[in-house]
Amino acid sequence: MEGLVSSRIIPIRASCTRRYSAFLPTFSLHLNEAQVWMMKRPKSSDSIAASIQPIEASTSGHIDNKQPSKEVLELWRSADAVCFDVDSTVCVDEGIDELAEFCGAGKAVAEWTARAMGGSVPFEEALSARLSLFKPSLSQVQDYLEKRPPRISPGIEELVKKLKSRNTDVYLISGGFRQMINPVASILGIPQENIFANQLLFGSSGEFLGFDANEPTSRSGGKATAVQQIRMVKGYKALVMIGDGATDLEARKPGGADLFICYAGVQLREPVAAKANWLVFNFTDLINALE
């Protein structure tokens, strides 16, 4: 993304609680004659809430979009579809970082994630590089999902419920992996067809094969492509994208999102926040604006 060659990232400290549940694979497909396993949405799961301390990160002073304009508020209230990023937005973690840490490669992968989210390297390059550092097997992913269920951001459940009560369609658009996002969608009551995410691929013995490069979210500009596809098919009059990274900002373009709201409750990426229509540090602000 032009202008996003570097990123000052300010983490927002979080204190989270988990409740445990298992998410196991229940169906498969074939890829190049190798058995590829995928994760299916669990029938039920407990809501796993994350509690973040109300600490608003200081900025360098040039960001002046913490208060929405009248036009931005009107667009937010009239939206008939809202697309959410998942990592560091709907959830307090970067999923691939957490999986890598679980598999013993956390630091190296987290460095790549910071570069990708700041926009300094093409997303597909960062995705491939991160996975090559630890090559998670099916059994490792299963074990991770069993022991570390999703930690959702405070207020996101209430916001999604509020949007649904207004007949606003909700989507999850992520550069993360469907195996890890299905449980999040289950918690929030978001249908599988409203998820656009990547897919980890495994062989017949559960060995790591790679990821599905045909998914639009597997490459730079992919979220923008996904949002444009959604809008073209559904014919939405007003669509909003909410996220924290450069790939989320890219979704605001003709035929895509009309509005980009930067959520900095977990990570404040200043070059991204500076170009947002509205910068928020908690979802309560968005809920209250719908009243």
- 244 in catalytic set: no
- 85 in catalytic set: yes
Alpha helices, DSSP H, located in the chain: 70-78, 95-102, 106-118, 123-134, 138-147, 156-165, 178-188, 222-234, 246-249, 270-274, 284-289
Nearest to 172 by CA among 223, 126, 127: 223
> In which element (H, E) is residue 208 found?
strand 208-211
Catalytic residue among 85, 169, 212, 258: 85
Nearest to 174 by CA among 163, 185, 158: 185
CB 256 within 8 A of CB 227: yes
Pair of tokens at residue 26: 């229940």
SS3 64: coil
CA distance 285 to 282: 6
CA distance 234 to 249: 21
Pair of tokens at residue 127: 């995705």
Catalytic residue among 87, 93, 258, 285: 87
> Which residues lie below 8 Å from residue 291, measured CB to CB, with a gap of 6+?
none
- Residues involved in catalysis: 85, 87
